[in-house]
Structure formats: C-alpha cells, structure tokens
Amino acid sequence: MPAYDTAAAAPEASPVKILIAGGFGVGKTTLVEAISEIDPLRTEERLTSAGVGVDDLDGIESKTATTVAMDFGRITLTDAGVVLYLFGTPGQERFWFMWDDLLNGALGAIVLVDTRRLDRSFAAVDFFENRGLPFIVGANCFNGEQPYTTEEIKAALHLRDPDTPVLLLDARSREDVRGCLLSLLDRLITQARVTAPV
C-alpha cells in the first residue's frame, strides 16, 4: 500500500470536494471511515422507537445508528496531486433536504448502492443526474459477495449516461475505496478535457 505523505503533499495538492451518497444503510459511513487519513467526523445517532414506521430497516435489521447530518473525512492522494474532502450524505429520506447544501462546491460523487435493496438507490442517482454532477456508482459487496455483474447493475439503475462507471467494492477496504476515488477523478479529468474551451 502506498504511503500517504500529507506533510509533503498538502501545500501543493489541490482540494477537491467529493460527496458519498446513497440510500439508508448502504455503507457510506463505513466507506469514509475506511479511507480517511484523519479521524472522521460522524454525526450518528442511535435508532430509537421514534423511527418505527418511518425508517425502513428491511434487510438491515441489525443497524443501530444512522447519520443525521453528514460524515466528513479527508484523504491525500499524493500521486494524483489532490486532497479529497469527503462528505457522506445522510441516507434517510427525512434528511435529504441537506443534500443540496452539501452539493455546494462538490466536483463529483460516489453513489453507493446495495443490490439487495437497489430500489433505495434511485433517488441518489436521480439527484446527481438532475443536477449534472459527475458521479460513479459503487456497488457495495456485503459479506464479500455480489451476485450481479456491473453491467447488470448498470442496466437495473437505468443510468442516463451509459459511460457512468459502475464498480464493485467492499466499503471496508481502503484499497477498494481508493480505487473508486481514483476512478471518479479519472472521470472528472476526462469531462473537464471534453468541456474545456479550445
């Protein structure tokens, strides 16, 4: 694993704001924790009886806490010359009003999906497609398993842009998350070159 030399790279590195979005319980907090070089800021609260009938825990019955504002982490990618500021969005519908505020200044996003509950991912995909923010899709492989191919996931999500990358990852794996972030940066660079004035 390459070293992340924050002291040497920070003064020269360009800051890039990235959103980590997706439905309730897809692994956004886990992803930020896996890659952040600092102790991530988490705004998690315990799930209580007040959420009964409001929060759909079908398929994630063991979940005991939820993000109510955002997660925040930072990672310096020395080889790419950037410092990524990662903002994890809340997944519950009642907190979606915060997504537009978090969108301010963001250059791209990772939409994290759980193929066991893929219908919970459409709102995040629609959000970024409607606002024109470049994104990639990361299909979280819970328990190290993923029964679907990236092409099947892409088709099921009905992505408007057929070139939107779909990657398989384990949100607990630093290397998997780093690979997704680098894929997103490649997409941002490619789009910037296409839209740059001649």
CA nearest 95: which of 124, 133, 130? 124
Asked whether residue 21 carries a pLDDT value surpassing 90, the answer given is yes
Structure-block tokens of residue 89: 């969005």
CA nearest 41: which of 71, 1, 6? 71
Helix (H, G, I), strand (E, B) or coil at 195: helix
**Tell me: the pLDDT tens digits for 186-197?**
999 998 888 877
**What is the predicted pLDDT for the residue at 52?**
47
**Tell me: the pLDDT tens digits for 147-157?**
899 999 999 99
pTM over 0.85: no
Contact 142, 31 (CB under 8 A): no
Asked whether residue 47 carries a pLDDT value surpassing 80, the answer given is no
